[in-house]
Amino acid sequence: MKICRFNHDRIGVVQEDDVYDVTDLFERQLHWPAPLGDAVIGQLEKVLDVVREKLPGIKPLKLSSVRLESPVANPGKIIGAPVNYHAHIEEANGDSEINNGKTFTTLEAYGLFLKANSSLIGTADEIQSAFGGRRTDHEVELAVVIGKKARHVPVEAALDYVAGYTIGLDMSVRGGETPCYRKSPDTYSVLGPWLVTRDEIPDPDNLDLSLHVNGEVRQQANTQLLILNVRRVIAYASALYTLHPGDVIMTGTPAGVGPVLPGDTIKAYVENIATFDIRVAPQFADQVEG
Ligand code: MN
């Protein structure tokens, strides 16, 4: 099932050109302190059967008439996996603007990084280049959305903890600052257009993915080429962090990263999920030097 968030926090099921508003099937009462994790994603597994049952009674909206927001409203963490495709390691080591004097070897040598969840937008929004004129790159990635609390997950069981998959853009300013800083300005994390529940993607390690800028192909690969595959990257992350429902793991970008400029249009694709277009705003974000 394809689950979206739209028009100010409505929850929808996408079927072909239609969206069925199923918001009222979820419990959304306030608790304080709010438990860690995204409350809607945490209920997904339980609510999906009811959703299936009620769907025929709901009058759909046209997908083209709604404004899509990030399918996860409130991830506790957006976890990034750097250098998880060999060809991207090679290109990074060959480009001083990417490696900034470092030599990348393995993902484990580098670890994971966290992107601020305030950087998150959906596909109807615009990416706004920060850092004045510095180089902002696109990185298209398969994004895993965690469905239930996970800690020390064994590789073999890792997919049981997945709610579903979506397309991630891990927008990145190149430079010497920490990845947490360079990859976390507002709008630098894109998720969408919807989440595809894990039952529809039995093998996340064999999905084509691509990215075009202004119609020109920049990235084209398959998740078969991941160094740490989806199971292993979940196990690796959960060895360190307790994962909560709605936590997102961006699994890493394939080769072909490169700059985007104000006014560009990015087209991102992951097989069995979707294709979406997103625009880079025509102006740089206002920048006040700290
Ligand atoms: Mn990345």
pLDDT tens for each residue of 60-117: 999 999 999 999 999 999 999 999 999 999 999 999 999 999 999 999 999 999 999 9
Q: How far is the CA of 181 from the centre of ligand 1 (A)?
A: 13
Tens digits of residue pLDDT in 219-276: 999 999 999 999 999 999 999 999 999 999 999 999 999 999 999 999 999 999 999 9
Q: How far is the CA of 139 from the centre of ligand 1 (A)?
A: 6
Tens digits of residue pLDDT in 101-160: 999 999 999 999 999 999 999 999 999 999 887 999 999 999 999 999 999 999 999 999
Place of tokens 């759909």: 60
pLDDT reading at 286 higher than 80: no
Q: How far is the CA of 251 from the centre of ligand 1 (A)?
A: 7
Q: What is the pLDDT of residue 287?
A: 67
Closest CA to 194 of 127, 249, 275: 275
Q: How far is the CA of 80 from the centre of ligand 1 (A)?
A: 6
Q: What is the pLDDT of residue 283?
A: 86
Q: What is the pLDDT of residue 288?
A: 59
Q: How far is the CA of 89 from the centre of ligand 1 (A)?
A: 12
Q: How far is the CA of 49 from the centre of ligand 1 (A)?
A: 34
Q: How far is the CA of 141 from the centre of ligand 1 (A)?
A: 7
Q: What is the pLDDT of residue 140?
A: 98
Place of tokens 């920048």: 287
Q: How far is the CA of 283 from the centre of ligand 1 (A)?
A: 24
Mean pLDDT of 28-55: 92
Q: How far is the CA of 52 from the centre of ligand 1 (A)?
A: 34
Q: How far is the CA of 81 from the centre of ligand 1 (A)?
A: 6
Q: How far is the CA of 211 from the centre of ligand 1 (A)?
A: 13
Q: How far is the CA of 34 from the centre of ligand 1 (A)?
A: 29
Q: How far is the CA of 183 from the centre of ligand 1 (A)?
A: 9
Residue 239 burial by CB count (10 A; 0-12/13-18/19+): exposed, middle or buried?
Answer: exposed
Q: How far is the CA of 288 from the centre of ligand 1 (A)?
A: 26
Q: How far is the CA of 31 from the centre of ligand 1 (A)?
A: 33
Mean pLDDT of 187-191: 98
Q: How far is the CA of 58 from the centre of ligand 1 (A)?
A: 38
Q: Can you list the domains of the chain with their CATH numbers?
A: 2-69 (no CATH), 78-280 (3.90.850.10)
Q: How far is the CA of 30 from the centre of ligand 1 (A)?
A: 33
Q: How far is the CA of 168 from the centre of ligand 1 (A)?
A: 9
